[in-house]
Amino acid sequence: MKKVWLISFLLSLHAMYAQNLQTGDLLFVVSGTSPYSDAISQSTAFAEDSLAFDHVAMLWITADSVFNVIEAVPQNVVHITTLDSFLVSATHLKGRPGVVVKRLTGNFSPDDAVLNALRYLGQSYDWYFEPDNGRMYCSELIYESYLNNEGDHIFNTVPMNFKSSDGTIADFWIKLFEDAGKPVPQGERGTNPQDMSRDKQLIEVYRYF
């Protein structure tokens, strides 16, 4: 019954604010409580951040007004889901989806960003945050899809950090990379939802909570 009520609530909320959303808007999800979410938040969120994000996805509104989300998630390949399903599965804050919608300003084509993202459909999740390996993690999908009119990446890569505020690497990361026989890529360049959310080219247009 609670899930039915939630879906009904989201549908009505979506109907109220749909006119404010645009193709190419970015959906930032507040961090959850899984070990993976905790590890991401510990290594990417700063003390001055009011919210910690562990996921980012792209909104795609089709020509027939279907609201879709393109995303790379650990539980799946790069795929398309409906906005309503995305909101239901997101972390919730006091019964509402912990999702912040931000819009990119500047010279880029939202439709081209969607076409770029669709090229990666079916790629497996990139647990090891490596570039150009035929796999994608969430913010990497956004980084590779959003190009300016000159064909350059809009978002910047940063030195990746896997250390918590006390300077130690969380057990989650140590085990993940040890099991793969890879070193923790501390300092290698990459992206993450938290850093991306701080980009000054983004403006917040809505939050669901």
Written as six digits, the tokens of 109 are 């084509």
The strand pair at 202-207 and 99-104 is best described as: antiparallel
Q: For 110-128, give the secondary structure using H, E and C.
A: HHHHHHHHHCCCCCEECCC
Check: CB of residue 97 under 8 Å from CB of residue 17. Answer: no
Mean predicted lDDT score pLDDT of the chain: 92
Q: 3-state class of 160 per DSSP?
A: coil
Phi and psi (nearest 5°) for 110?
-60, -40
- Threshold 0.75, pTM exceeds: yes
First-to-last alpha carbon distance for the chain, in angstroms, is: 21
Q: How many CB atoms sit inside 10 A of residue 171's CB?
A: 10
pLDDT per position as a tens digit, 158-209: 999 999 999 999 999 999 999 999 999 999 999 999 999 999 999 999 999 9
Helices (H) and strands (E) in the chain, counts: 7, 12
CA distance 32 to 95: 14
In 3D space, the residue among 193, 4, 204 whose CA is nearest the CA of residue 84 turns out to be 4
Helix H or strand E encompassing 85 = helix 83-89
The residue written with tokens 């819009």 in the block is 103
pLDDT score recorded for residue 6:
55
- 106 pLDDT band, cuts 50/70/90, is confident
Length of the chain: 209
CA-based R_g, the chain, Å: 17
Give pLDDT tens digits for 49-101: 889 999 999 999 999 999 999 999 999 999 999 999 999 999 999 999 999 99
CB-based contact 107:148 (threshold 8 Å): yes
CA distance 187 to 134: 21
